[in-house]
Amino acid sequence: MSIKHRLDLDAINLRTYASKDWEKRILESYKTIVNDQNREIRLKLQLCKRCFQGGKIAGVGFTQYVCGICSATLVFHNTAVPELCEDCSKTNDLCIQCAAHVDNKMIKEIK
């Protein structure tokens, strides 16, 4: 004989509250992305919307990497190494992390 797990009104309403809260947070971050609310900070960090919003999970420790455009060898302060060096990302308006265009535009040439 098993005892069935029962949900009372409070438990159900708590779940509804959690679901509503989730929806609210999703809509808020959606708005932040669509309106590009932190654009100035984002561009200062030379990041595309996705990398700015998501952020990579990084391990601690200086890590060597090679820029995907100019092949310069660089050192980054953690293991989530960028795809590009600062110069190449700025010159081409690309995200330093993933090399996407910072405004999601297709580019015709690499400078």
Taking CB under 5 A as the criterion, the residue among 42, 46, 48, 102 binding Zn ion is 48
Contact 33, 49 (CB under 8 A): yes
Residue 94 near Zn ion by CB under 5 A: no
Taking CB under 5 A as the criterion, the residue among 67, 82, 94, 102 binding Zn ion is 67
How far is the CA of 85 from the CAs of 4, 81, 106, in angstroms?
Answer: 59, 10, 19
Taking CB under 5 A as the criterion, the residue among 46, 82, 97, 102 binding Zn ion is 97
Closer CB to Zn ion, 14 or 72, in the complex: 72
Q: What is the DSSP string of 20-49?
A: HHHHHHHHHHHHHHHHTTTHHHHHHTT--H
Residue 70 near Zn ion by CB under 5 A: yes
In the complex, least distance from residue 7 CB atom to Zn ion, rounded to whole angstroms: 42
DSSP β-bridge partners for residue 64: 75
Residue 96 near Zn ion by CB under 5 A: no
